[in-house]
Amino acid sequence: MKEIIYICIDDTDTEDSIGTGRLARYLSEKIEQEGMGKVDGITRHQLLLDKDVPYTSNNGNACLEVHNSKSDIYELVVEFMRSHFVPGSDPGLCICPKEVVTQEIIQFGILAQQKVLLKDEAYQIAQQTKVFLQELGGTGQGVIGALAGIGLRASGEDGRFIDLSGIRDIVNKIEINEILERTPIKSVVDLQGNQLPEDAVIDPVGWLRPCLRNGKPTLIVAGPIAKWIKSDAEGCYLPVKL
C-alpha cells in the first residue's frame, strides 16, 4: 500500500518576498528532484481574515500531498525551509501521514477558518496525535496555519489547487473530455454541483483552478458566459475563482 503524507507550510513570506504558494511549488520540485516522493498536487486553504490574526496578504497556507515518500523527507523539508527563511516572516511546518490525521486535526482546520486560534492549541493537538509540527523562525505563528492546512486537506472538502499536473498547460478553450484526459481532474460541475456533459467547452481564463471536493480535484464552473468577463464563445463555461 502506498504511503501518503501531507506537508503544509504557512507564514513563510513578507510583502517583499515570494508567496507561500510559490515556495510550496519550489519545495515540490525539490522533493521530486531528490527522489523523495511524488507530489500529487498542492492546495491552498483560506484561513480566517481578522485584525487579530497576523498575515502578509490573504492568510492562505499551502499543502502538498506526497506519495511514496522516503523516511528522510522530513530532514530534506526542514533544511529546505530553513534555507529559504525570509527575515520578518513567521514560518511554521507540519508533516503528517494521511493515516494519522484525526477528526481533531480536521476540526482544528475548520476552526481556523472561523476564529482566532493560539499556538498552544496547535501544539497540544500535535503532541496528542504525534504529528510533526515545528516553528522555523520569527514568532513561529505559522504552526497554526500549517496544522490547520493538514486538517483541511485531509477533510477532502476544502482548498483550491495551485499546482496539479497539466492545469497550467491548458490556457485555451477546451472540451471537458480533453480536460479529463490531460489532467487528474475527476469532475467538472456547475455552481449547483451538477455534472456537465463532456462535450461542453471551458474557457480557462488563464489556467484551470480546480478545487478539492469529495476528496477529488473538481473544476467548478459558471456559465454560459459569466457577466464579469467578456467572452466571444456562446455557451462557453468559465471556472469559478474560489
pLDDT in tens, 148-161: 999 999 999 999 99
Q: Are strands 201-202 and 160-163 parallel, antiparallel or unpaired?
A: unpaired
pLDDT value of position 241 = 65
Give start-end residues of each CATH 3.30.70.2200 domain in the chain: 4-160
pLDDT in tens, 60-108: 899 999 998 888 999 999 999 999 999 999 999 999 999 999 999 999 9
Judge contact between 63 and 8, C-beta under 8 A. Answer: yes
242 confidence band (pLDDT: 50, 70, 90): low
Question: 140 — alpha (psi -120 to 50), left (phi > 0) or beta?
Answer: left
Grid cell locating 212:
478539492
**Fold classified for 4-160:** Alpha-Beta Plaits (3.30.70)
The neighbouring-strand residues paired with 187 are 218
Q: What is the 3-state secondary structure (H, E, C) of the chain?
A: CCCEEEEEEECCCCCCCCCHHHHHHHHHHHHHHCCCCEEEEEEEEECCCCCCCCCCCCCEEEEEEEECCCCCHHHHHHHHHHHCCCCCCCCEEEEEEHHHCCHHHHHHHHHCCCCCCCHHHHHHHHHHHCCEEEECCCCCCHHHHHHHHHHHHHHCCCCEEEECCCCCCCCCCEEHHHHHHHCCCCEEEECCCCECCCCCEECCCCCCCCEEECCEEEEEEECCCCCCCCCCCCCCEEECCC
205 confidence band (pLDDT: 50, 70, 90): confident
The neighbouring-strand residues paired with 160 are 44, 211
145 confidence band (pLDDT: 50, 70, 90): very high
Q: Say how far apart CA 180 and CA 186 lie, in whole Å.
A: 6
Can you state the angle between helices 20-33 and 73-83, rounded to 10 degrees?
140
pTM of the model: 0.90
pLDDT surpassing 90 at residue 58: no
Q: Say how far apart CA 166 and CA 170 lie, in whole Å.
A: 7
pLDDT surpassing 70 at residue 230: no
